[in-house]
A and B are shown apart, each in its own frame.
Chain A
Amino acid sequence: MYLIADIVISIVLVIGGFFIFVGSFGLAKLPDTMRRLHGPTKATTLGVGSILIASMLYFLIGQGNLSFHELLVTIFLFLTAPVSANVIAKAYLRKNGDGKSDADAERRTPAEKAAPVR
């Protein structure tokens, strides 16, 4: 019983470490900002999620107290990762995007530019 739990927790920990590494490796390797965004937003979320789930299982089985803090952190990260990725992409496109977004930026009137970003 404990052996199976040990194996499961170890596998989940290794998966988490691997995906966090892949996310940061993609961040360092890929050639332009929009491609770089793909690495961290996906891989890191699953990586941290795995490590948090492993920690929850570890304290549940090892010490017998069920803690939901990790679950909350996981949910929080899954909810906020798309938002921060979207905000970063928007900032990049607004600053020096491709032709498409430049045309968009030109089309906006000054009043629209001054309106709060929702």
Chain B
Amino acid sequence: MTATILPHPLLSLAVFVVWILLSNHVSVGVFVLAAVIAVAVPSMTAVYWPGRPSVRRPMVILEYAAIVLYDIVVSNIEVAKLVLFRRGDSLNSTFITVPLDLESPEAVTVLAGTITMTPGTLTADYDHEGHTLMVHCLNLKDEAEAVAQIKQRYESRLLRIFQ
């Protein structure tokens, strides 16, 4: 029953909240329209979203978001220092390969986005066969350390959230 009306409860909730924020004032009409859209849009587009990602442990999600926000600020300061005070040629930029333990495509997407937003690293490509991410480092000090940091700081938490 809920599967036919609300194929994706989290998506419906997101649409509901975003619609209210977009209309930017609170009244009964806005709530009704938001509810209608939150039910109609996911059920009409359900054909394109066959799988339903399992998301668990909201506390870990909050912890993850806080860590990522902190890292974004720190990485910005780091990258700003590198950009302003170092010659471009003297930066040791290379590609590193990060093997993945995550299975679901949503989790891999979140990890790739997180890597792009955090200290001096940028996801360039995803290898389907080897199940690895190709990550470009702006200034690499130690490859094993960088991979280990990505794995234990982000991937272990994502494993707990998505599995």
Contacts and interface: CB of A to CB of B under 8 A. Distances in A.
B116 A82 contact: yes
A53 interface: no
Contacts of B91: 30, 35
Q: How large is the interface on A (under 10, 10 to 19, 20 to 34, 35 or more residues)?
A: 35 or more
Interface string B120-153: 1011110100000010101000000000000000
A95 to B, nearest CB: 13
A29 B80 CA distance: 12
Contacts, number: 97
B88 A81 contact: no
Interface of B: 18, 21-22, 24, 72-73, 75-76, 79-80, 83-84, 88-89, 91, 93, 95, 112-114, 116-117, 120, 122-125, 127, 134, 136, 138
Interface of A: 18-19, 22, 25-26, 29-32, 34-35, 37-39, 41-43, 45-46, 67-69, 71-72, 78-79, 81-83, 85-86, 89-90, 93, 98, 100-101, 104
